[in-house]
Amino acid sequence: MQVEPERPLTGFADGGFRQRPVPGRNLPLGQCRRHRTILRTSNNAQAGRGTAVAWPSVVREVEAGAVSPVRRTVKVLLLDQADRLLLLRGDEYADGHSIWFPVGGGLENGEDAVAAALREIDEETGCRDVTIGPEVWRRQHLYSWRGTRTDVHERWFVARTSHFTPSTQALSDEEQTYITGFHWWTAGELIATTAEVFPPDLGTRFQAFLRSGAPATPIDISQK
């Protein structure tokens, strides 16, 4: 994937945010070139964006007398300077078909959502120089993974970086068996594609975000 000339990062100029430097890990920075920062709202509690919440990655909840596994996760709309969205390709089904999905994963014990988002970007793409913006969506759904059905609770954040070529070096051996590619998508490409995308309405929601910007509070995009 060709790296394009760097242009100024845009999209998080709202005066309600302030930047706080985050120390990087003592590891190579790869092809990401900007200093990483987190953007926090000045009124986190009221806005519900960028809040630090300590959630276990998997907890047990009881509903109507049944015990079901609940997984707390983050998802990241990782955008480059041309408003293209990075998705990963997963070959994780027995019939061999692929699915495209955003960066993200489960929260570790005691980890807040923003820290989890930064960690997942690092682990899944090799990029550490990222600007994390507001939380824009929340989603709850049932997901089956290798015979286990899980109640997944997602928090979706926007992040900005300069265009880069993702690296798979930090992926676990298991992840490398089913994460088989990356692509930077425009909203139009996502809407038009016949490939399977997670979630299915990601293209239209992504386009609406680009047109309207981040909501004042996260939108529930769960399918009712």
pLDDT tens per residue across all 224 residues of the chain: 333 333 333 344 332 222 333 333 433 434 554 434 334 333 333 333 333 333 333 333 334 444 468 889 999 999 999 999 999 999 866 677 899 999 999 999 999 999 999 999 999 999 999 999 999 999 998 877 666 777 899 999 999 999 999 998 888 888 888 899 999 999 999 999 999 999 999 999 999 999 999 999 999 999 86
Residue 14 lies inside a defined structural domain of this protein:
no
How far are the Cα atoms of 82, 139, 150, 221 from residue 224, in angstroms, in the given order?
Answer: 33, 10, 17, 9
Residue 17 lies inside a defined structural domain of this protein:
no
HSE toward the beta carbon, residue 168, CA cutoff 13 A: 14
Q: In a 10 Å sphere around its CB, with 0-12 CB exposed, 13-18 middle and 19+ buried, how is residue 36 labelled?
A: buried
What is the rounded distance in angstroms from the CA atom of residue 139 to the CA atom of residue 156? Answer: 8
Residue 214 lies inside a defined structural domain of this protein:
yes
pLDDT at 177: 85
Query: 110-127, pLDDT tens digit by residue?
Result: 999 999 999 999 999 999
Structural contact between residues 38 and 20, judged by C-beta atoms closer than 8 angstroms: yes
What is the rounded distance in angstroms from the CA atom of residue 31 to the CA atom of residue 146? Answer: 34
Residue 213 lies inside a defined structural domain of this protein:
yes
Residue 16 lies inside a defined structural domain of this protein:
no
Structural contact between residues 33 and 129, judged by C-beta atoms closer than 8 angstroms: yes
pLDDT at 143: 73
* This prediction's pTM: 0.72
Residue 2 lies inside a defined structural domain of this protein:
no
Place of tokens 């990963």: 88
* 61: CATH: 3.90.79.10
Residue 158 lies inside a defined structural domain of this protein:
yes
Count how many domains the chain has. 1
What is the rounded distance in angstroms from the CA atom of residue 139 to the CA atom of residue 75? Answer: 10
pLDDT at 116: 97
Structural contact between residues 130 and 80, judged by C-beta atoms closer than 8 angstroms: no
Domain with 199, as residue range(s), is 29-220
Residue 13 lies inside a defined structural domain of this protein:
no
